[in-house]
Amino acid sequence: MTTTPHAAHGFVDEPGAGTSDKPATTPAGGRRTRRDKLLVLLATPAVLWYAVFTIGPLGAVFYIALLDWEGLLSPSTFVGLDNFTKILHDPVFWTAAKNSLIQIGVVIPVMIPLAFMLGYYLTLEPRGHHLLRVILFTPALVSLSAKAMVFLAVFAPSGALNGLLDLLHLDSLTRPWLANEATALPSVIAVDLWSGIGFTAILFSARLSSISREVYEAARIDGAGHWRRMWRIAFPMTEDYFGVLAMLQFLWVLFSSAGSVLLLTGGGPGNASTTLSFLIYDKAFTQSEVGYSQATGVLLFFVGVVGMAGIRSLFRQRY
């Protein structure tokens, strides 16, 4: 996954810088309005750019979802909610929905707590933690396609994983991991976890390092071990951040699995590893059902909103 290094970084910097430093109001008298006009002018290009290339297309999804549209270059007709009826009667959609649910249901509960614990471990500054940090950061540098090439070679029938199992005399466990109905989706999930835990752990450790040592010290004197300090002290103090990272990860997995599925399994075998995100891609660009694809996008949007609300209520949110 490489947790959108982008979004995540922004949140890291927020706690320190975001809240307190509103500019001190120093009225500059009559020149103020003229000066503010120039400021508006300076901000306009960026706002327009963002509106035209991000917000605009996003809004268009909701309209395209109502069209019958066979391929991007052919004409379209307005069909209202027909696409949605079609989707809800399509077994492929339900397979994809089930796969997405499994993917999220495994990735989030495994990744976020493990990353939190690893982040806590890093803040203790154990021996070798500098090296460990560098290693944990590496998956964030590797592109999706390079990562996919590596794992194609790892999971291939005559790849590294089967080779290793062979060496360990566990031949009975070898299989074509990506081409096997039972292991295709788990393999995709494993790649998500492989690349996601480390980076998320670094984000957690940055946040956890803001807890003062005295707090832990007091708990230690009271006889609390690391496990209790971690979950009874560090966790409640950073619960909001826990929620933010869970939410970002949730959105990332829900929407952005298309790329890794496309490169690793192509959604197969059959539809065994087709996720909703991949279905949106596949319908639009290989099956020429643009309306269907975007209607799925709309459904995904609502799933995203509901999921976010769920995560928010699970972890008390302060922002």
Cα distance between residue 84 and residue 298, in whole Å: 9
Give least dist CB 38 to other proteins, A: 5
Q: Which of residues 71, 78, 130, 149 is near other proteins by CB under 8 A?
A: 149
Write down the least CB distance from residue 177 to other proteins, Å.
Answer: 14
Cβ partners under 8 Å of residue 175, min gap 6? 157, 162, 183
Sole window of 55-63, 98-106, 176-184, 268-276 interacting with other proteins (rule: CB under 8 A) = 55-63
Which of 101, 102, 110, 150 forms a contact with other proteins (CB under 8 A)?
150
Nearer to other proteins, 29 or 91 (CB): 29
Q: Which of 100, 137, 114, 167 is nearest to 9 (CA)?
A: 137
Interaction residues for other proteins, span 94-133 (CB under 8 A): 118, 121, 126, 128, 132
130 within 8 A of 162, measured Cβ to Cβ: no
Give the CA count within 13 Å in the CB-facing half-sphere of 126: 8
186: its two tokens? 């788990």
Close Cβ partners of 181 (under 8 Å, ≥ 6 residues apart)? 269, 270, 272
CB of 274 to other proteins, least distance (A): 15
What 3-state class would DSSP assign to 145? Answer: helix
Write the CA distances from 152 to 81, 260, 309, integer angstroms.
40, 11, 36
Nearer to other proteins, 39 or 91 (CB): 39
Nearest to 178 by CA among 278, 264, 260, 276: 264
Give the range of 88-96, 147-155, 209-217, 231-239 binding other proteins by CB under 8 A. 147-155
Candidates 1, 3, 11, 202; binder of other proteins (CB under 8 A) is 11
* 20-39 binders of other proteins (CB under 8 A): 21-26, 28, 35-36, 38-39
- Of 11-19, 93-101, 208-216, 231-239, the window that binds other proteins (rule: CB under 8 A) is 11-19
Kindly tell me which residue out of 104, 154, 203, 279 binds other proteins, with binding defined by CB under 8 A: 154
- The smaller minimum CB distance to other proteins, of residues 8 and 91, is found at 8
Examine residue 173 and tell whether it contacts other proteins (CB under 8 A). Answer: no
- Which member of 13, 125, 181, 217 binds other proteins (CB under 8 A)? 13
Contact 291, 77 (CB under 8 A): no
Residue 93 near residue 296 (C-beta atoms within 8 A):
yes
Amino acid at 215: V
- Subset of 192-251 contacting other proteins (CB under 8 A): 194, 197-198, 223-228, 248, 251
313 binds other proteins (CB under 8 A): no
Q: Does 263 bind other proteins (CB under 8 A)?
A: yes
Q: Which is nearer to other proteins, 81 or 160 (CB)?
A: 160
How far is it, in rounded angstroms, from Cα 11 to Cα 270? Answer: 39
Least spacing, CB of residue 85 vs other proteins, in Å:
20
Q: What are the helix (H) ranges across 69-137?
A: 82-88, 91-123, 129-137
Among 106, 152, 179, 211, binds other proteins (CB under 8 A): 152
Binding to other proteins in span 264-293, by CB under 8 A: 277, 280-281, 284-285, 290, 293
* HSE-up of residue 234 (Cα within 13 Å, Cβ side): 28
What is the number of residues in the chain? 319
